[in-house]
Amino acid sequence: MNFFNRFQGIFLSPQQIFNSISQKPVWVDALIFLLIAGALFSYLSAPYAQKDQVQLLKNNVKLQERLGEERFNQTIERLENPSKSSIFLRSVLLSPITMIIGFLFASLIIMVIGRFTSTEGNFIQILSAYLHANFIDKIFGNAIRLFLVFTKKSMMQTTTSLALFFPRLEFTSPAFIILSQFDFFQLWMFGILGFGISSILKIDLKRALFISYGFWALKSLFYIAITMISMQFLG
């Protein structure tokens, strides 16, 4: 099955696509497509993310006291005037590397969780399924997010999660951080991934969804913990 059929099939007939992938896993073209799309999203959203970061630091009185006025001002100046080469390198090098590590680690964890219910399937099959499921979040989801970023002129205040229904929440608040994990495209993606896990591990859909959303829950808890710790460090 060619790439175009697999891409549209994830949205229109995911079970058929994952059945095909479980028999003949293909992943290289899917990975390349996701990396290009991710680098493009990172590059186009970088100016807005940078502006948000500068504004966040400027409002952080505790950090200014901890760093000292001179060092604080140097940090702000460096963030306000990044070189074009640094932005480009972060987008085309750091972003894809981070994505690759994320895809590999996520696939490994899903496979480990799956081993508690089945001895069927292998890492390449899980990786292939996970990459194809990410078309929903990293392609369609990021396209919507980028539109919202351009509209709101902000990266941090842009969300496609439950936090969208609470516009008065500060994006640094614990409530926003928690609600942001209930992202509509992520929830859709992990629901679709259940079909792939079911086909690969040869288990029923109910158990496959438990594995898929179980991983989502672990990932979300880890992100919430890391973000909370980071916020405390920044004051």
Question: DSSP string of the chain?
Answer: --HHHHHHHHHH-HHHHHHHHHHS---HHHHHHHHHHHHHHHHHHHHHHHHHHHHHHHT-HHHHHHH-HHHHHHHHHHHHS--HHHHHHIIIIIHHHHHHHHHHHHHHHHHHHHTTT-S---HHHHHHHHHHHHIIIIIIIHHHHHHHHHHHT-STT--SBGGGG-TTS-TTSHHHHHHTTSBHHHHHHHHHHHHHHHHHHT--HHHHHHHHHHHHHHHHHHHHHHHHHHHHHH-
- Averaged over 61-72, what is the pLDDT? 64
Percentage above 70 pLDDT, the chain: 86
The mean of the pLDDT values for the chain is 88
pLDDT of residue 70: 66
Q: Note the pLDDT tens digit of each residue in 113-136.
A: 999 999 999 999 999 999 999 999
Is residue 11 predicted with pLDDT exceeding 80?
yes
Q: Is the pLDDT of residue 73 over 90?
A: no
- pLDDT score for 74: 67
Is the per-residue pLDDT at 59 higher than 80? Answer: no
Read off the amino acid at residue 70: E
For the chain, the C-alpha Rg in angstroms (whole number) is 20
Does residue 4 carry a pLDDT above 70? Answer: yes
Residue that is written with structure tokens 């399924």 in the block:
129
Give residue 152's pLDDT.
87
Burial of 70 (0-12, 13-18, 19+ CB in 10 A): exposed
CB 185 within 8 A of CB 160: yes
pLDDT computed for residue 47 by the predictor: 84
Backbone angles phi, psi at 25, to 5 degrees: -65, 125
Report the share of the chain in percent with pLDDT over 90: 66
Domain chopping of the chain, boundaries:
16-234
Distance CA 127, CA 57 (A): 38
Mean pLDDT computed over 39-55:
84
Mean of pLDDT values over 192-200 = 96
Q: pTM for this structure?
A: 0.88
For residues 149-164, give the mean pLDDT.
Answer: 89
When pLDDT is averaged across residues 127-152 and rounded to a whole number, the result is 95
- Cβ of 120: how many Cβ atoms within 10 Å? 14
Q: Residues with Cβ < 8 Å from 114, sequence gap 6 or more? A: 121, 126, 197, 201, 211
Q: Binning pLDDT at 50, 70 and 90, where does residue 87 land?
A: confident
**Residue 72 confidence class, pLDDT cut points 50, 70, 90:** low
Instruction: Using the predicted structure, report yes or no on whether residue 221 has a pLDDT greater than 80.
Output: yes
- At 234 the pLDDT is 58
